[in-house]
Structure 1
Amino acid sequence: MSMMRDLRSAVRPARRRAALPASSPSAALPVAVRPEPPSAIVDCAVYHEGRRTTGLLAPEDALRKVREDGEGFTWIGLHEPSERELAGIAELFGLHPLAVEDAVHAHQRPKLERYENVLFNVFKTLRYVENSPCGPDEPTDALVETGEIMVFTGQDFVITVRHGGHSALGPLRHVLEDDTELLAKGPSAVLHAVADLVVDGYLTVTEALQLDVDDVEFAVFSSDRDPRKPEAGRIYQLKREVLEFKRAVVPLQRPLQRLSERPSRHVHPEVQNYFRDVADHLTRVTDQVASFDDLLNSILQANLAQVSFMQNEDMRKMSAWAAILMVPTMVTGLYGMNFKYMPELQWSFGYPMVVCGIAAVCLLMRRGFKRNGWL
């Protein structure tokens, strides 16, 4: 902690000179019409040495207080802001227009981008939702809902933009406010907490998907299941969820590696160690998702093989019965040609003999097919 105070005392005069000249206390802020606080703001506060020093403020008031004091940072939380609502904040904090556009429209891949003095991170959030079955004999469907969290990280501010109805950051803010030692390390502590929250959500979804995969695997390979009950639909549904999972997890590996391995002025050296732990958890999730995909491919191929085997069984039975029925069809066809001179036409036992002969041949053929497993 003493090291942090020495560091702050060393950079504080330079920061004050760069941010607020003595002649004009507010000269560091962009010259613009003071905007009304956007309705998308969930919370906006100033933190000094890990402690919250203010209640809910307007963004320009929070930034002014931080730069007048020359220490601490402000954390602004937004939920699904419009382009107009984010424009004033973007101008106030000097956010790049491309990053602002991504934050407004969402639907971005997980990534890390550097814009001059600002880091821009995109995280995909996931939530496992269990739907009710449509009938008593139908399986419960599962769905993985996605959302996004964008994080702008500067020297004295952090702005979080959340899209989606889950992964609220209010509880995370309260947890961080209780951990003053970690929050005192600056905006990068908030960035790490958000990344850790997102990856912990991945672990929760992974556990739920593991149960679904095990359930489908048991259903396909169970000896007492109905072989004609279709399972391909459930398998395809799980594969879609796993694919959505991969789109959120795999692209995030590279950004977390950069945050954990490359020194950056936006990331406190001690916080960088925490990013390594998050990256390790993400690697574990990535391995599990890859194993889910491979296992579902194997289960799907096994299920298709079972379906193909059942179809072959049906075809063999149909072919066997067709061969058996071919005997009486052939014999009756011959006698149906109405020729005058045909064998045994005038014999009184001719008809019973032909019928018995047909029955005997059919029974012998049925016995042979049954012995060979065709019936």
Structure 2
Amino acid sequence: MTMFFFPAPDEDDIAELADAWRLHPLLREDLVNAHQRPKLERYGEVLFLVARSARYVDETEEVDFAEFHVLVQPNSVALLCQDHRWLDGSDGTTLGDTERGDRTLLGDANLLKLGPEAVLYGILDTIVDGYRPVLAGLSTDKEQIEREVFSGDAAVAERIYRLSQEVIDMQHTAAAMSDVLRSLQAGFDKYAIPEELRAYLQDVSDHLTQASRRTVELRDALAQILSVNATLVAQRQNEDMKKISGWAAIIFAPTLIGAIYGMNFDIMPELHWTYGYPMAIGLMFAFALALFIIFKRSKWM
């Protein structure tokens, strides 16, 4: 069996491969135009698979995806790293093609006896296993956000939205990869896939199902956290409004008394009374103090 690795494929590499394997024009176009969702297609004897690996960047709280194109035909497999990264997320150009591919995909001689589909299994297994640390990183940040929500951090809402977007992207990738595995499983009987290899692929499918379920749980948890944060923000705003309303009422009391005695009617006995001014000031202070005590006992202040 022959294995071809393209850690940083360009149009010349793709053209050479397409001519050597006599690839269908549509398949050749797909290889040139990357940035596709995971999918599985057949062009005659050639099986074409698009897969996406994931790597979590904790510093920026982002999920970094990498796209891979896999071509499988009898006795030959070609792997194109469209984003110039390897299956584990590392730089695909730092090691030689043969060294990197032999260590990751061609290390199990017994598995390789099952045919080129065994290499395809190795690629899918490595990619799906890479989803676990990504989900672990997302879970850690989710727990940090939960603590920030109850600490009253005003910037936590933006962090929730950003992390939710990464979880949604991860969920879409896992769902598309699940469709790819289901398509592979649907062709087991038609293409006479060995029972041993079927068991391996079923194991990959189980791991992917767990990853998909975990992304759904994270998305639901972040939605609940966002709802709780909105409730806490509303409560804090309500407390602020109580304080504002209380101080407004306290200020209104002396303003009302001042307005009454500021009307300048001719017949207002208190205007010419010796104790009129001290009485007005006293009333202002008494009303303000009484309202303050009432609001304080009602926990509005």
Same fold (TM over 0.5): yes
Which structure has more RCO (C-alpha within 8 Å, separation ≥ 6)? 2
CA distance in structure 2 between the aligned counterparts of 1:162 and 1:178, rounded to whole angstroms:
19
- The aligned counterpart of 1:236 is 161
Q: Which residue of 1 aligns with 2:72?
A: 153
Question: Which position in structure 2 is the counterpart of 1:254?
Answer: 179
For structure 1, which runs of at least 5 residues remain unmatched after alignment?
A: 1-72, 132-140
> Counterpart in 2 of 1:333?
259
Aligned partner of 1:108: which letter? Q
Does the 8 A contact of 1:257 with 1:276 survive in 2? no
Letter in 1 for 2:172: R
Distance in 1, matches of 2:192 and 2:49, equals: 12
Residues 144-203 of structure 1: CA deviation (Å, up to 9, x unaligned): 111111111111211111122342485453144332111122211110000001101111
* Letter matched to residue 236 of structure 1: Y
Query: Greater shift after overlay, 346-355 or 336-345?
Result: 336-345
Give the partner amino acid of 1:352: P
Are the counterparts in 1 of residues 167 and 215 from structure 2 also a CA contact under 8 Å? yes
Cα 1:359–1:179 change in 2 (3 A) is same
- % identical equivalent positions: 38
Residue of structure 2 aligned with 1:88, choices 16, 19, 29: 16
Whole-angstrom distance in 2 between the partners of 1:196 and 1:303: 38
Is the partner of 1:373 in helix, strand or coil? coil
Q: Pick from 324, 327, 342 the counterpart of residue 250 of structure 2.
A: 324
Give the secondary-structure state (helix, strand or coil) at the position aligned to 1:345. Answer: helix
Q: How far 1:234 moved relative to its partner?
A: 1.0
Give the 3-state SS of the residue equivalent to 2:264 in structure 1: coil
Per-residue deviation, residues 324-348 of structure 1 (Å, max 9, x unmatched): 1111111111212222221311211
- Say if 1:260 and 1:279, in contact at 8 Å, map to a contact too: no
Counterpart for residue 115 of structure 1: 43
Matched residue, 1:23: none
Q: What does residue 216 of structure 1 align with?
A: 145
**Aligned residue type for 1:211:** T
CA-based RMSD of the aligned residues comes to 1.8
Using the alignment, how far apart are the partners of 2:147 and 2:24 within structure 1? 52
Which residue of structure 2 lines up, in the alignment, with residue 14 of structure 1?
none
Superposed, which structure 2 residues align to 1:1-375 within 5 Å? 73-131=1-59, 141-164=60-83, 165-167=85-87, 168=92, 170-221=99-150, 225=151, 227-263=152-188, 264-265=190-191, 267-375=193-301
Between 1:289-298 and 1:345-354, the stretch displaced more is 345-354
- Structure 1 Cα separation of the partners of residues 28 and 57 of structure 2: 30
Gaps of 5+ in 2: none
Larger radius of gyration between Structure 1 and Structure 2: 1
Is this contact kept in 1: 2:105–2:123, CA < 8 A? no
Residues of 2 paired with 1:249 and 1:329: CA distance? 65
TM-score by length of 2: 0.91
Cα distance between partner residues in 1 of 2:101 and 2:195: 22
SS of 1:107 mapped into structure 2: coil
Q: Distance in 2 between matches of 1:80 and 1:109?
A: 19
Is the CA contact 1:259–1:272 (under 8 Å) kept in the aligned structure 2? no
Q: What letter is aligned with 1:124?
A: R
CA distance in 2 between partners of 1:190 and 1:364 (Å): 82
How many residues align? The count is 290
SS in 2 for 1:348: coil
Alignment-mate amino acid for residue 94 of structure 1: R
